[in-house]
Amino acid sequence: MRLKLGCAAVLALSAVVGTAVDEAPQIPITMRAGYRVLEVDLHSHTRFADGFLSPFDLVLHARRKSLDALAITDHNILFPALMGRAFSRAVGGPTILVGEEVTTRDYHVHAIGLTSRIDASLPLDRVIDEAHAQGAVMIAAHPVKRFWPLLVPARHKFDAAEVMHPIAFGDRRGGGWSWEEMRTYYEDARAEGHNLGAVAASDYHFFSPLGVVRTLVFAESDGEEHILEALRERRTVVFDANGNAYGNAALMDALRREPYQMRAQDYNYRGNGALDVLFRTLGFMALAGVFLFGRRRVRTG
Ligand SMILES: [Zn+2]
Ligand SMILES: [Zn+2]
């Protein structure tokens, strides 16, 4: 029993030390057209809605994925995003944008940069106006055909629409959602003169990788206000699975002249330094010890 407790203590110590020495890779600063190029995921969920991770784990995961910024956008609640932002500030993580996916049967829309929760029972016009009054940007989330009856008449009021989403890779989520319909929503709106910004977002819940698709945001810095300003001014570029670009024409030109290499998607951290190796080894041994000594106790008792 004492051995098992000792192993559990070493395991806990290893986890704490291992986390403390786990340094995130430094993100290089890249400039294009006079702006810093940021890789931003504008759509993610926590366990307080229908996601899997806590807001804290989501922040750490975004850092591992080399995201400059992440919007936490749970369904009709704001506090997970506020928790994530406070935690990220404390640990020096990526910029967290406070969002809400205002979710109804007839549409999903993102308000990003909110200070207080928006009531999803309001009519869509009012939802958009209230978000704008708070200084937030409004994004039409995965605007597939079943949401068009309300999202098409409102498209002149949105700041942006999701053009790229993991459903482009074939995950139809059983509801018959089609990526082509999302793209059509954006392209039709642009063709009819509505100045919608382009957004790519992973709609992260659990299985699809966080940041698997990202919006390139061209901002003065990675600060919250500068990112929101860039979104308001439509300074974004998005690439689809075939490498086609969408978004701000001048910035797409700048990227054609001087292409931008997206960061690696994989978490390629393998541990460096003696402390990391020592506590990783101790941690595995202690874990084995907990099972070993735990089992023997059951068998003899
Ligand atoms: Zn949604
Ligand atoms: Zn969502």
Same domain for 280 and 173, yes or no, is no
Mean of the per-residue pLDDT values for the chain? 91
Ligand 1 center to 197 CA (angstroms): 18
Ligand 2 center to 266 CA (angstroms): 22
Between CA 282 and CA 278 the distance in angstroms is 6
Phi, psi of 23 (to 5 degrees): -90, 135
Same domain for 96 and 236, yes or no, is yes
Whether the pLDDT of residue 287 is over 50: the answer is yes
Give the chain's domain count. 2
| Ligand nearest to the Cα of 147, by number | 1
Range of the domain at 296: 1-22+271-301
Ligand 2 center to 7 CA (angstroms): 41
Same domain for 166 and 36, yes or no, is yes
Same domain for 100 and 149, yes or no, is yes
Residue 61 tokens, joined = 């995961």
Express each pLDDT in 59-86 by its tens digit.
999 988 889 999 999 999 999 999 999 9
Ligand 2 center to 101 CA (angstroms): 6
Domain assignment present for 158: yes
Express each pLDDT in 2-54 by its tens digit.
888 888 899 999 888 877 776 666 788 999 999 999 999 999 999 999 999 99
Same domain for 61 and 193, yes or no, is yes
Same domain for 184 and 54, yes or no, is yes
Ligand 2 center to 213 CA (angstroms): 14
* Residue environment code for 204-239, b if the CB has 16+ CB neighbours within 10 A, otherwise e: bbeebebbbbbbbbbbeebebebbbbbbbebbbbbb
Instruction: Identify the CATH number of the domain in which residue 138 sits.
Output: 3.20.20.140
pTM for this structure?
Answer: 0.85
Same domain for 146 and 201, yes or no, is yes
Same domain for 146 and 291, yes or no, is no
Same domain for 13 and 33, yes or no, is no
Express each pLDDT in 122-147 by its tens digit.
999 999 999 999 999 999 999 999 99
Ligand 1 center to 51 CA (angstroms): 12
Between CA 198 and CA 277 the distance in angstroms is 43
| Ligand nearest to the Cα of 105, by number | 1
User: Where do the H-state alpha helices sit in 242-273?
Assistant: 249-257
